[in-house]
Structure 1
């Protein structure tokens, strides 16, 4: 197995500003380049979780009633203790779980799922029309659209405290 950093150490890139030659002049990445790439890699892995937490907090500020109910549930389970909440305590907080799921429905941190290839011809129904998805086609799922689909969710644009799935 090769690590991300190992691949960067082996990478060679064209030298900037070298033109007019028949062969491409390559250079190793500088320490600054490697630090920048690693920073981008780490930022990309952290950003979705940070964005989700920001949206949850924004929704709680906007919906004081949800915030108060959530605060009441948390206090009833953990009391006034300081420190980490353990997994067993989290299991006893269904409203917290519902609020998190609702925030993820409204503000998905990933807009697309990993593309999938269709294994056989499939007919789907959408908007009262049938569509053929041919074998071998690559299908992308837009998660944000699923979370806002009015045929699935009652008031899909609202932040609901009860989870408003029609199915």
Structure 2
């Protein structure tokens, strides 16, 4: 079973990472176990070229882990779409997974929007539940300011209670 998940989307520079680094502690303070996935549309190596872990990946390992005193990083040679099935392995250890990015993925979305960076996705996408931004958004779209992290956390907790943080078919 896949854990509840939400994609936090927006154009580059809109403030997604900043919001997440403020939202995770707020949700944890409320007792939620939160996982975070960074999704990138740019292809870049997960392991430094020529490193032992890159060589293990190239050899066809089912997974590669890098462990040191700071923690463990685990990678799988799977396409980005496989993230949902991989997350199912952690369903018992998290209450919510926040995915930074993945605009075109099947998850419900919280859009972080800053005027001038790109068009507002919520204007044309039914899977955007709310917008975080300081500019006016179309009427009928739930909107939060960037500094209202407690209200955003309240909203996410309500979404969890309502069961709306599940993957859907198509955008």
- Same-fold status (TM-score > 0.5): no
TM-score of the two chains, using structure 2 as the length reference? 0.26
Taking CA–CA contacts closer than 8 Å with sequence separation of 6 or more, which of the two structures ends up with the larger relative contact order? Answer: 2
- Between Structure 1 and Structure 2, the one with more helix by share is 1
TM-score of the two chains, using structure 1 as the length reference? 0.26
- Between Structure 1 and Structure 2, the one with more strand by share is 2
